[in-house]
């Protein structure tokens, strides 16, 4: 449901959606400056408004940040195709090395232009990776590949999942923190 709210004299557009699988309130700002609030079913509209107001400074700061970003340069797609090919080669080579300790089976991997994710793993055992992996330091791209491989063994972020990750990447917590500092929208 899309709505508007006035915060510090500015009109904020926000999209609010509830789902039974959501466990907590989550706030994201898209590149177009739209605020998205995801919430569990039991969260009321009033609680959402309170949550947005609590985070008003952060929301306005992020919206200003995105407004000041240069518009993405669109070309004929040849640059993206080149990056995608480089990413396919990187992922193919690194999966061969990083999956040796696990021997997980997967159907295929794809390289995509994802705006909010570095990677994902589907229940059908398909791995998806963002082409922007090629711009990361090798230890971070390896961490992402290991993370998605481990979802083939555990389709969640349980303690068992993190034990699988730690098998190949014992320093995964530091890598995770480093990755969170990188804004996908500006790469």
Q: Report pLDDT digits (tens) over 144-161.
A: 999 999 999 999 999 999
Q: Which residue has the tokens 């330091």?
A: 137
pLDDT at residue 141 greater than cutoff 90: yes
Q: What is the pTM of this model?
A: 0.65
Whether the CB-CB separation of 91 and 112 falls below 8 Å is answered with no
Q: Which of 93, 128, 98 is nearest to 114 (CA)?
A: 128
User: What is the arithmetic mean of pLDDT over 23-28?
Assistant: 87
CA 169, 172, 174, 175 torsion-angle sign: positive
Domains of the chain and CATH, by start: 2-67 (no CATH), 78-186 (3.30.2010.10)
Average pLDDT over residues 10-29: 86
93 close to 155: Cβ distance less than 8 angstroms: no
Does residue 68 carry a pLDDT above 80? no
Who contacts 14 (Cβ-Cβ below 8 Å, separation ≥6)?
Answer: 2, 3, 4, 5, 34, 35, 36, 37, 52
- Average pLDDT of the residues of the chain: 89
The mean pLDDT of 43-62, rounded to a whole number, is: 89
Q: What are residue 111's phi and psi, to 5 degrees?
A: -110, 130
Torsion of CA 121, 122, 126, 130, to 10 degrees: -40
Mean pLDDT of 135-152: 96
The set of long-range contacts for 158-165, using a CB threshold of 8 Å and a minimum separation of 24, is 164/102
For position 85, what pLDDT does the model report? 94
In this prediction, residues 120-127 reach a mean pLDDT of 96
* pLDDT given at position 73: 56
Q: How does residue 71 score in pLDDT terms, banded at 50, 70 and 90?
A: low
pLDDT value for 104: 96
Give pLDDT, residue 74. Answer: 52
Average pLDDT, stretch 130-137?
93
The reported pLDDT for the residue numbered 21 is: 83
Look at residue 48 and tell me whether its pLDDT is greater than 80: yes
pLDDT of 186 above 70: no
């Amino acid at each position: 449901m899309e709505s508007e709210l006035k915060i510090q004299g500015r009109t904020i557009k926000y999209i609010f959606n509830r789902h039974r699988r959501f466990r907590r309130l989550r706030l994201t700002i898209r590149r177009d400056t739209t605020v998205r609030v995801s919430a569990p079913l039991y969260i009321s509209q009033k609680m959402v408004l309170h949550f947005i107001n609590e985070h008003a400074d952060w929301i306005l700061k992020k919206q200003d940040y995105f407004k000041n970003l240069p518009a993405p340069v669109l070309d004929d797609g040849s640059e993206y195709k080149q990056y995608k090919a480089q990413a396919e080669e990187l992922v193919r080579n690194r999966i061969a090395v990083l999956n040796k300790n696990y021997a997980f089976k997967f159907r295929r991997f794809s390289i995509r232009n994802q705006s909010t994710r570095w990677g994902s793993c589907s229940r059908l055992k398909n791995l998806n990776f963002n082409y922007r992996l090629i711009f990361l330091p090798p230890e971070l791209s390896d961490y992402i590949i290991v993370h998605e491989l481990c979802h083939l063994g555990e389709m969640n972020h349980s303690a068992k999942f993190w034990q699988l990750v730690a098998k190949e990447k014992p320093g995964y917590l530091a890598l995770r923190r480093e990755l969170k500092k990188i804004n996908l929208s500006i790469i």
